[in-house]
Structure 1
């Protein structure tokens, strides 16, 4: 895969008095030691350095959308290297390499390989191998220029170096060029009225400062490992240039000049300089490329995953944009959403983040258990293993939660809780929490809330005790919600349609999760979260998490089938504002109002999701900030990995059977799982 990288160089050209000061500046090493520089006979013009620095700052502000940074000197294994010289070296060889900082002439560090010029071909002969290259220049410019003119080059499957320079002409020199062109047309009897009118209009625009004129130079150097590969790649490059409307010529007699003209400041070596306007130059240099993400330096370090774009270039995926990492994955049922979700979670293991899954239909069970995690599938009527009074501590925070929790239990019948009853609940909790952990239970709390009032809070708590119909939910002999593992999964499918149980279970689960947020990296992944959005406790948790988890070094990953589910929610505004990364899988039945009006996709992005991307293409749209890119995750042929990343009823049953036989160590059960799940 190839990545498109852009380097912009600002050159200050002072008046040449007493020798070219620019050359002097490039030949010396700026040390800030005026006495040493004077001893070497070198002149330092501090005003030029300040001017260049000012212009660089202006450029950075104007190009802020591209997130530019200055090339610098860096340290590697105790030695100093120069990014600036590495760019120059790459322009000459087509290959990246480290270039050390040298004390002498910079050319000594650059010229590390022998360059041999043939009739149309360059050979760059290194110590161990040779690279062959050819260069195109512009023979005739296109009649019109547009910012998308050179985009065909972004997708070619080989390396190249495209170099342009633009040297501004003063107004007098620019006006003279227009006058000379008009004179040439008149002397030749050229009757191209429209061209003459265009020249007059252009001259007016020049005098009105709508643009400036400058000499432009363009070279496209293609490099390959063999002559045959070079011929093939040059043919592709020529076709890509032809699509722009320009007439490209392969450099022959001027090959060496074209090669050296790639280096910054080598204006005298430009083989085909031509005057164009600053508007033309802007169209030739729009800095368009496919988003590449960040390979390193992200909020959690290195990229989470490496994906391939439509142009076969790398895309370094990260949940975070800055320090905000909440992510939303939208895709219809059967579209690969679960595979993608669990793949990203598997890749995120390198970050060291703890992962908690709120699962549906046990889609992540095999993945969590294969990763060495714990998975608890909650079932209606089956003991959950939850016992909040035993698990929580006698602290103000836990007792405050228990007060809210118990009020939720006794309010389930629709009856209100009076102020007096609230006090009784708080007193009961204080008393129970003084008991040894083993003696704490809802039954013990029930005895402290009174037995006389048949509609009081004590009577309403009765069904939640071990003797009641719902005792299996929260009044168990011990609390089995162990949160010490790096991977933890809960399947709540059975509870999502049981309103009486769903809300208190979510209250308890999210309180326990909240206690884990101590600054340690954490990902909380909620599959099919549209179903949970119907619960008030979940909505409160999601809204609070979207707004505060960034400060607690945690992130939420939501997955859902339709954008409408999120948009209809009471917390839709928080989702739209706080989600940093949106992943849209192909959806042939997607509605424009959901994607464009709801999630602010552009018309082109919506067309990709609905029309252009086929569900079987393994491609999807990633939108992060202002950037969007189509990437591919094709795991075809990796049947064992797919069986782990996407659990189904039949494979979950196989895994359950084997784990019951040999235990939950994935080293023992996973090989047996793959053997038994395959058809014999």
Structure 2
């Protein structure tokens, strides 16, 4: 234990590290003259992929390995760093009390959870001398000779090529090279900070200084016992155990998911693996020796056949042989906790038929220092031969998505979702088009190319469009209004509040919209709609919109087609109405400026149906839709608006013009501010000619106005069979798919593009715990927004018909201010 001292621990920590200097923004040279760099890798969301997909990606990774480790001069260190995450919850100021109360309650429900994240790293190393003979020759080389300097320059270039090869091959995995950066007048190094984390088990800034880089890294005191390392950071003490894979180990049948259990472990660790290429002639001798041993000691025909096949493939250059060292450093806050974690790790690896053992004595020290990229001085005592085929599976770059903790162009993440992997998922609606391109997905988005637009407004904005699919009771409405409530921050990243506009159905969002202080409009057949577009600003756009709506109204439910002469008459009539005093302008005035004909299909006669007639209401059955005397659709007094469209969606004559006018007014109100336009059961609107065109256009262009378009549907079939097709769905890179035990593969896989594994998760997951498949391009994760115990909040977020009536009753009694009526609603709700 810790009292059993090992002499080697007296040597200073810095002297055990291999690093000399960081000689460029990205390259570090070791004391031995080797060159290394480090890539941080996002990884792929393997948990929602099929085995066939994983195998295909593994082949790409294998090809990169063969190129990056082309000679004995090449080596590669890989790391998985699993750390406990603190302060993951979002803390914002909101523009209404309900949003603030909801997010506070939701965050409190997560406070007891332990969250972890996995960070993946690749560190290629190019050795100045790859073989023992080369290293022996370097001892006698003149350090000042031109040849020696040329050798170093070639090594540096080779290291840079290795990085370039890996980055090119791993675009899908989203790599980022660690480099130096400026802060507070000094030059700091991300690479050094990565090394410092491995050493000190804590994050620290590392400033580049003229002194040896290794000397800048130690901050903690390391005390090596017989089988435990004590790491002291000031008043904080952490204990570490070092595990290694037990020899001999058979890896010919290794699974690419060999570490999947570790990636979800409830303890912190660093998994370091290092690989060095074995020359082919040496690899052949090794395999033949192994074949001779098997043939002389056993008659295992399967093993003999495997060796012969390996020899054939090696000679055909289908794989390479590597020296592989597997080291797992496990951390605990106490010796008891550490020992518990060690037992858990042994069990997790045993489930994958991998035997690991705890290191002690000198092996503990040697293996600990071997986790550092380029650390050859400690002999890599646990290294054993492995094929490149299995190397690719030992580090397949698997990970669980965590979203973007930094947030989006609108500021911090909306909410944090929990996952089975214990990783937090930082929910943002926006996605990076560059990230989509890395996945092979091209978004058909219109860029702002108008030179009249100020440069700062032409900056590239990312797309945040989304759609939600979930049947009755699956939690579709709860999910989307919870996101919406959390979006109602006092200000976004550029100090502008987000405006919310929702086209609701069946009053499902009425309570939450009113609770957020929104204005909520209910459109009822026969009751004047309160929309008078002739009282809007007189612009060319307004006149064109009125012309389109009037033309549609004339042609509705008839065989009538507007003649060229009538088109001229209509435009003149529109101009004449705009010449009237504002108080006198209304749609009913338009017929006074059209030629009056007695024919059944005259423009005058057909538009009369839409103009209010007090004397004979039967002559104007549609007058309530367009001919309101005063425009009451004011979208300038709040930052949130809801429109219940339940009744009008069933009326073909009302749906098209009202939806077109409402969305036009929304766009004018939203101009210049971040905004969300959300449409419930939007696929019913897509079938409408005017609304279908509007939604299709806005899916590509709303990004330029810093807006987001959100659609939802109960039936996946409605989405899959939309006449706008797959190209339209591609404009919605974020999707939320709720559990559905009746989901059909021909819809979810063939039409919506889910993988078989994603489909299986949707089909078998429970809706009762808030599960939802969050999919951004090809990256997806099954996450949870569990609102169990938040009954008051749920009664607002998921409105039943009874509770809608209670809400309206409370507002009638106590007024429209949520501070007055919402507490009463909580008392009376069902």
Q: TM-score, normalised by structure 2?
A: 0.75
> Counterpart in 2 of 1:513?
666
Q: Is this contact kept in 1: 2:200–2:219, CA < 8 A?
A: no
What are the within-5 Å matches in structure 2 for residues 187-202 of structure 1?
Answer: 189-202=297-310
Q: Which of 153, 166, 184 matches 2:275?
A: 166
Task: Classify 1:415/1:389 alpha carbon distance in 2 versus 1 (closer, same or farther; 3 Å).
Answer: farther
Q: 2:200·2:218 contact (CA, 8 Å) conserved in 1?
A: no
CA contact (8 A) 2:481 2:512 kept: yes
Q: Higher mean Cα deviation, 460-469 or 359-368?
A: 460-469
- The superposition leaves residues 533-567 of structure 1 with CA deviations (integer Å, 9 ceiling, x where unpaired) of 34222211121122332344322111111111122
Report SS of the residue matched to 2:662: helix
Q: Are residue 639 (structure 1) and residue 639 (structure 2) matched?
A: no
What is the match of residue 817 of structure 2? 665
Q: 2:34 matched to which residue of 1?
A: none
1:499 counterpart (643, 646, 652): 652
Are 1:289 and 2:403 an aligned pair? no
Aligned pair in 2 of structure 1 residues 487, 75: CA closer, same or farther (>3 Å)? farther
Q: Which of 288-297 and 164-173 deviates more?
A: 288-297
Q: Indicate whether 1:399 and 2:538 are aligned.
A: no
Alpha-carbon distance between aligned partners in 2 of 1:193 and 1:500, rounded to the nearest angstrom: 79
Question: CA distance change for structure 1 residues 180 and 498 in 2, over 3 Å: closer, same or farther?
Answer: same
* In 2, Cα distance between equivalents of 1:661 and 1:44: 86
- In the alignment, does 2:333 pair up with 1:225? yes
Residues 205 and 211 in structure 1, CA contact (< 8 A), matched pair in contact too: yes
Q: Distance in 1 between matches of 2:184 and 2:333?
A: 30
Match of 1:363 in 2: 508
1:310 to 414, 420, 431: 420
Where does residue 594 of structure 1 map in the other structure? 747
Please report how far the alpha carbon of residue 388 of structure 1 lies from its aligned counterpart in structure 2 after TM superposition.
0.9
Q: Which of 425, 429, 450 pairs up with 1:319?
A: 429
Counterpart in the other structure of 1:34: none
Query: Which one of the candidate residues 197, 207, 215 is aligned to 1:108?
Result: 215
Could you tell me whether the CA contact under 8 Å between 1:147 and 1:284 is conserved in 2? yes
Task: Give the corresponding residue for 1:428.
Answer: 573
Partners in 1 of 2:523 and 2:539 — Cα distance?
28
Question: Residues 668 and 517 of structure 1: is their aligned pair in 2 closer, same or farther, counting only changes over 3 Å?
Answer: closer
1:126 deviation in Å?
1.5
Match of 1:206 among 314, 335, 340: 314
Correspondence list, 1:198-597, <5 A: 198-253=306-361, 254-269=363-378, 270-296=380-406, 298-322=408-432, 323-350=462-489, 351=492, 352-391=497-536, 393-416=537-560, 417-453=562-598, 455=600, 456-467=602-613, 468-484=620-636, 485-516=638-669, 518=671, 520-597=673-750
- Kept in 2, the 8 Å contact 1:142–1:245? The answer is no
2:414 & 2:267 partners in 1: Cα distance? 26
Distance 1:375 1:299 in 2: 28
Contact 1:94 1:161 in 2 (8 A): no
8 Å CA contact retained: 1:410, 1:460: yes
Bigger shift: 238-247 or 173-182?
Answer: 173-182
The whole-number CA distance in structure 2 between the counterparts of 1:661 and 1:450 is: 52
- CA distance in structure 2 between the aligned counterparts of 1:194 and 1:550, rounded to whole angstroms: 60
Q: Residue 77 and residue 461 in structure 1: after superposition, are their counterparts in 2 closer, same or farther (change >3 A)?
A: farther
SS in 1 for 2:216: helix
**3-state secondary structure, aligned to 2:377:** helix
1:71-130 deviations in whole A, cap 9, x for unaligned? Answer: 122345555432212222222344434333344222232211111111211110110110
User: Cα 1:373–1:606, aligned 2, differ >3 Å: closer, same or farther?
Assistant: same
Q: 1:31 aligns to what? A: none
- 1:522–1:554 Cα contact (<8 Å) kept: yes
Deviates more, 1:294-303 or 1:214-223: 294-303
* 1:96 matched to 2:203: yes
2:782 aligned counterpart, secondary structure: strand
Higher mean alpha-carbon deviation, 259-268 vs 333-342, is at 259-268
Other-structure match for 2:805:
653
Q: Could you say which residue in structure 1 is the equivalent of 2:234?
A: 127
Q: Which moved more, 1:79-88 or 1:495-504?
A: 79-88
Alpha-carbon deviation of 1:2? 0.7
Query: Which ranges in structure 1 are unaligned for 5 or more consecutive residues?
Result: 25-36
- The secondary structure found in structure 1 opposite 2:780 is strand
Distance of 2:158 and 2:720 partners within structure 1: 51
Deviations 1:257-277 (A, max 9, x none): 111111111123223111111
Assess if the C-alpha contact under 8 Å between 1:158 and 1:233 holds in 2: yes
Residue 671 of structure 1 and its aligned partner are, at CA, apart by 2.8
Q: What is the CA distance between 1:337 and its match in structure 2?
A: 0.6
Which of residues 111, 115, 122 is equivalent to 1:8?
122
Task: Classify 1:81/1:307 alpha carbon distance in 2 versus 1 (closer, same or farther; 3 Å).
Answer: farther
Secondary structure at the aligned position of 2:341 is classed as helix
Provide the rounded CA distance (Å) in 2 between the counterparts of 1:519 and 1:45.
56
Partner SS, residue 616 of structure 1: coil
2 CA distance for matches of 1:123 and 1:605? 43
For 1:112-154, what per-residue CA distance to the aligned partner results, in whole angstroms no more than 9, with x for missing partners?
Answer: 1111111211110110110011111011323421211221111
Q: Is the 8 A contact 1:132 1:227 kept in 2?
A: yes
Deviation at 1:283, TM superposition (A): 0.9
d(CA) in 2 for partners of 1:382, 1:648: 25
Q: Aligned partners of 1:677 and 1:155: how far apart in 2?
A: 40
The answer to whether the 8 Å contact 2:769/2:788 transfers is no
For the 8 Å contact 2:128–2:151, the answer to whether it is kept is: no
Partner Cα distance (1:72, 1:299) in 2: 25
SS at match of 1:590: coil
CA distance in 1, matches of 2:675, 2:272: 45
Farther-moved stretch of structure 1 (321-330 vs 52-61): 321-330
Q: 1:617 is matched with which residue?
A: 769
Q: 2:172 aligns with which of 65, 72, 81?
A: 65
Q: Residue by residue, what CA displacement relative to the aligned partner does 1:423-461 show, whole Å, maximum 9, x if unpaired?
A: 211110011112222121122212112445363322332
* Structure 1 residue 313: Cα displacement: 1.1
Q: In structure 2, what is the Cα distance between the partners aligned to 1:180 and 1:285? A: 28
**1:20 and 1:573, CA in 2 relative to 1: closer, same or farther beyond 3 A?**
farther
1:132 alignment partner, SS class: strand
- What is the distance in 1 between the residues matched to 2:788 and 2:201? 34
- Runs (5+) with no aligned partner, structure 2: 1-114, 130-134, 433-461, 614-619
Q: Is the deviation greater in 574-583 or in 561-570?
A: 574-583
CA distance in 2, matches of 1:516, 1:561: 29
2:151, 2:311 → 1: CA distance? 39
Please list the CA deviations of residues 589-643 of structure 1 after superposition, one character each: whole Å capped at 9, or x if unmatched: 1222111111121222212212x20222321212221112111110111122222
Which residue pairs with 1:117 in the alignment?
A: 224
The answer to whether the Cα contact below 8 Å between 2:127 and 2:155 also exists between their aligned partners in 1 is no
Q: In 2 relative to 1, CA 664–74 (structure 1 residues): closer, same or farther, beyond 3 Å? A: farther
C-alpha distance in 2 between matches for 1:58 and 1:279: 18
Judged with a 3 Å threshold, the aligned counterparts in structure 2 of structure 1 residues 185 and 677 are, in CA distance, closer, same or farther, namely closer
- The structure-2 alpha-carbon separation of the partners of 1:374 and 1:43, relative to structure 1 and needing over 3 Å to count, comes to farther
Cα shift at 1:285 = 0.6
Q: For this pair of structures, how many residues does the alignment match?
A: 659
Task: Look up the match of 1:33.
Answer: none
Q: Comparing both chains, which one has the higher relative contact order based on Cα–Cα distances under 8 Å and sequence gaps of 6 or more? A: 2
Normalising by structure 1, what TM-score? 0.91
CA contact (8 A) 1:113 1:124 kept: yes
| SS of equivalent to 2:117 | coil
